[in-house]
């Protein structure tokens, strides 16, 4: 007889951003005059830039001709795209990577959710607080977190507090962990970890054998040349 994964029952009643959207809709209905600044899930607000539109048009044109038609792409991504990622995202920061160190997927949210599946279910997880919900929810579903207490915090998770008191730069965990989720620039605090802060985490991971899952989805927003856009720096 098929059994449900009981770890799903540990999750809160709904996805955070869906709950935020419902609250915003209810508030807007009750206060139609209010000028609302939305801090929920991000969405695009401006049209695509011309370079993107032109590239997409060229790609569609390739698919319309027998001479240039492409079927399924390579499972790790096209070499020309991987080379462009290495050159623009890492080479510009003085970081050298080989092609087999990069793979192209359908987006960082799916990667963050899926990559934890390659690690043992008993791995101890450290997650920022506050945090992007996918980091926590996927580990809850995998059975790594134990039960949630009355405050909603899970007993098996090491929470890395990011507060005004510590400059939104969490301290190293006080108990041993195996997987560490770091996001810089951070969602939701907006904080960018300094080179010294990231070096501290790299040293900790090397010393303890922990794996850092570094999410740099917002690195393009960094304008200060003194701030690292990648932990590989």
For the segment 122-155, what is each residue's pLDDT rounded down to a tens digit? 999 999 999 888 899 999 999 999 999 888 899 9
The two structure tokens encoding residue 35: 């000028």
In the chain, what are the domains?
Answer: 107-233 (3.40.640.10)
pLDDT at 36: 85
The stretch 38-50 carries a mean pLDDT of 81
Is the model's pLDDT at 49 over the cut of 90?
A: yes
pTM of the model: 0.83
pLDDT at 14: 64
- Nearest alpha carbon to residue 90 among 200, 221, 230: 230
Is the model's pLDDT at 31 over the cut of 70?
A: yes
N-to-C CA span, the chain: 51
User: How many Cα atoms occupy the beta-carbon half-sphere of 102 within 13 Å?
Assistant: 22
Place of tokens 């995998």: 142
The overall average pLDDT reported for the chain is 91
203: enclosing H helix or E strand: helix 195-208
pLDDT at 40: 67
pLDDT at 11: 83
Q: Lowest-confidence range among 10-24, 46-60, 117-131, 191-205?
A: 10-24
């Amino acid at each position: 007889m098929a059994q449900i994964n009981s770890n799903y029952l540990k999750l809160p009643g709904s996805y955070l951003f869906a709950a935020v959207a419902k609250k915003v809709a209810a508030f807007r209905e009750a206060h139609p005059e209010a000028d609302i600044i939305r801090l929920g899930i991000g969405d695009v607000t401006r049209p695509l830039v011309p370079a993107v539109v032109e590239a997409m048009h060229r790609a569609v044109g390739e698919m319309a001709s027998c001479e240039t038609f492409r079927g399924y792409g390579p499972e790790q991504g096209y070499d020309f795209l991987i080379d462009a990622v290495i050159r623009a995202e890492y080479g510009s920061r003085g970081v050298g990577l080989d092609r087999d160190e990069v793979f192209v997927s359908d987006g960082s949210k799916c990667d963050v959710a899926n990559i934890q599946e390659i690690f043992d279910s008993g791995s101890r997880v450290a997650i920022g607080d506050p945090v992007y919900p996918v980091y926590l929810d996927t580990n809850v579903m995998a059975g790594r977190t134990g039960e949630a207490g009355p405050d909603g915090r899970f007993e098996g998770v090491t929470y890395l507090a990011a507060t005004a008191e510590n400059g939104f730069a969490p301290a190293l965990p006080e108990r041993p962990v195996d997987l560490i989720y770091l996001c810089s620039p951070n969602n939701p605090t907006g904080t960018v970890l300094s080179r010294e802060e990231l070096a501290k985490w790299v040293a900790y991971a090397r010393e303890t054998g922990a794996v850092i899952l570094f999410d740099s989805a917002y690195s393009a927003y960094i304008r200060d040349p003194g701030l690292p856009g990648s932990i590989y720096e």
